[in-house]
Homo-oligomer: A and B are copies of this chain.
Amino acid sequence: MQCPAEGRTATLETMLNRQQPLDDFYAIIPAGGVGSRLWPMSRAEAPKFLHDLTGSGNTLLQATVERLEPLAGRQRIMIVTGRAHRSAVEEQIDELADHNIVLEADPRDSTVAIALAAAILRRREPDVIVGSFAADHVIDDWRGFRRCVSEAVAAARDGFIVTLGITPTEPAIGFGYIKADGLADIEGAPSARRVDSFVEKPTIDVAKEYVESGDYLWNAGMFISRADVLLEELAHSEPELAEQIEELAAVWDEPEKRGPAVDRIWPQLKKIAIDYSVAEPAAARGKLLVVPGDFDWDDVGDFSSVAKLHNHGRRDRLAILGDGGTVLADSASGVVVSQSKRIISLVGVKDIVVVDTPDALLVTTTEQAQRVKQVVDAIRRSGHSGVL
């Protein structure tokens, strides 16, 4: 059973139709991650989430905020990002209150980003339910997405940590999977299932078995729970980290104390993904549920995704991103990113990826786009990190 399909309660339907925010819900958007495989468009200084990768006119971050607004309300969306990105984020997101932006001294992986936001929010609002949603994913079916989140919030009220698992549309080898167990039978969350286990990125043969079985869902890294439940789970698995985060949260809203606390504590914070610090331990203790979602979802991992999203799957089209120069194409398909002021001519190149920036040029194909990360590693080793 899938959450957008059957078995929804009347209350849920009513809420969706009225599209009123959920009272006790707060959305957290961890906006980090450079997106190496999108180099040289995405870089340390201008990471993936600050770009419009779909041709929608919105950046990925803007689209994420808009998608969450009907669920949480505009004033109940918190963005966690690096200090270097503050001005870019504030420029892109209107009416972003100071108390809704958490600036990281340096990146400390997803546990710190999400748990710190959760801890800050719990001090402001003890019963708050938080949901964390990456700033750089693309979902077009907002209605389907909201329906799933609403179920997840209902289950979170019952004390569960809930993740959204995406129904696979193909045997992808680039994602981790969640093995779902039986229905959890939660009021307001009819499609929520217990979680058997998390599994790492599979081989193609294993991925095919997963998809056929119907029990495996893509791990999209979206987690919904009461803030106190999440922090309690963290305290079990990573007590020291949980304590440091609480210490930071305790002074976060006191400007004269926050700085010294960050200076003292931040460098000691452990880098660990929330999958390992919270989700997997919770699953092992039977506290994790998954709400399956068959809405579209893309993590825009590489230029192949960019081309697909921009060209709506049509392989004969050429997506043009950026407004730098003039692009002249003759029998070309794929994607071109134009960030310099030059004339770009593409002649008879199929499934091509051309990324033209003032100091770096990338030419690859949609099929080879995954390998861009290796190039980035090579550039780092070769001492040209200035362009990364």
* B-binding residues in A (CB < 8 A): 40, 326, 328, 330-331, 341-349, 352, 354, 356-365, 367-369, 371-372, 374-375, 378-379, 382, 384, 387
Contact = CB atoms under 8 A, between A and B. Distances in A.
A330 B365 contact: no
Given A342-B360, A345-B375, A347-B368, 20 more contacts: A40-B343, A40-B345, A326-B384, A328-B375, A328-B382, A330-B371, A342-B361, A343-B379, A343-B384, A344-B361, A345-B361, A345-B364, A346-B363, A347-B372, A347-B374, A348-B364, A348-B368, A349-B364, A354-B361, A363-B363
A349 B361 CA distance: 14
Nearest to A374: B330
Contacts of A384: 326, 343
Contacts of A40: 343, 345
Q: Helix, strand, loop or mixed for chain A's interface?
A: mixed
Contacts of A342: 357-361
A89 to B, nearest CB: 28
A364 B379 contact: no
A371 B343 contact: no
Given A326-B384, A330-B378, A382-B328, A347 B361 contact: no
Contacts of A363: 344-347, 349, 352, 354, 363
A73 to B, nearest CB: 44
A359 B342 CA distance: 5
Contacts of A369: 347
Contacts of A362: 345, 347
Nearest to A386: B343
15 contacts: A328-B378, A331-B371, A342-B359, A342-B361, A344-B363, A345-B361, A346-B363, A347-B372, A347-B374, A347-B375, A348-B371, A349-B364, A349-B365, A349-B368, A354-B361
A374 B346 CA distance: 11
A365 B348 contact: yes
A366 to B, nearest CB: 10
Nearest to A352: B363
Contact of A361 (B356, B364, B367): B356
Interface centre among A343, A362, A374 (most CB of B within 10 A): A343
B343 A364 contact: no
Contacts of A364: 345-349
Nearest to A384: B343
A387 B343 contact: yes
A345 B382 CA distance: 13
Given A345-B362, A354-B363, A375 B326 contact: no
